[in-house]
Amino acid sequence: SVHIEFLPLEKGKYLRLKIDLNDQQLDGERIETLSLSGSMVQAYVGTYYSEELASVYSISYKNGKLLLSHRRAEEPLLIKHEDEFATGFSEEARRWRGGEYARIKFLRDRQNRATGFLLSMPTAWNVRFRKVDMLRN
């Protein structure tokens, strides 16, 4: 028997589901074709700081790709949903994280400006990074 459960709506859409297939649990994610416009890209570009990790990450835009840079590498960001990206596909990431990838979910203020992001990976969830230029305001 198969049981499918659509998880709660996010931004007006079902983005995730759980499947129970003969007592085997599977997770699914909606696949969307999304592209970034110039104004969207500029909202993400900047320097971000995590107090928890005392670490700085930068997001830049080069050769048509949004890139995440940190002390170990520069990795492409793959858009998954609006304001949500995945990374960890570079050769460097496969070497030091065993092929696992990270998720980045951008946070916005009331004026709809990107103010930071939450970084999640298998070893840590929702580590908060704040956009450095937003800290000065």
Q: Quick one: 87 exposed, middle or buried, by C-beta within 10 A (0-12, 13-18, 19+)?
A: buried
Q: Say whether pLDDT at 13 is over 90.
A: no
Q: What is the pTM of this model?
A: 0.71
Residue 72 DSSP symbol: S
Contacts 24+ apart (CB under 8 A), 2-11: 10/81, 11/81, 11/82
Q: What percent of the chain has pLDDT over 90?
A: 34
Residue 98 DSSP symbol: T
Share the mean pLDDT of the chain: 83
User: Region 55-78: what's the mean pLDDT?
Assistant: 89
Alpha helices in the chain, H assignment, sequence order: 38-44, 91-97, 132-135
Distance CA 50, CA 33 (A): 30
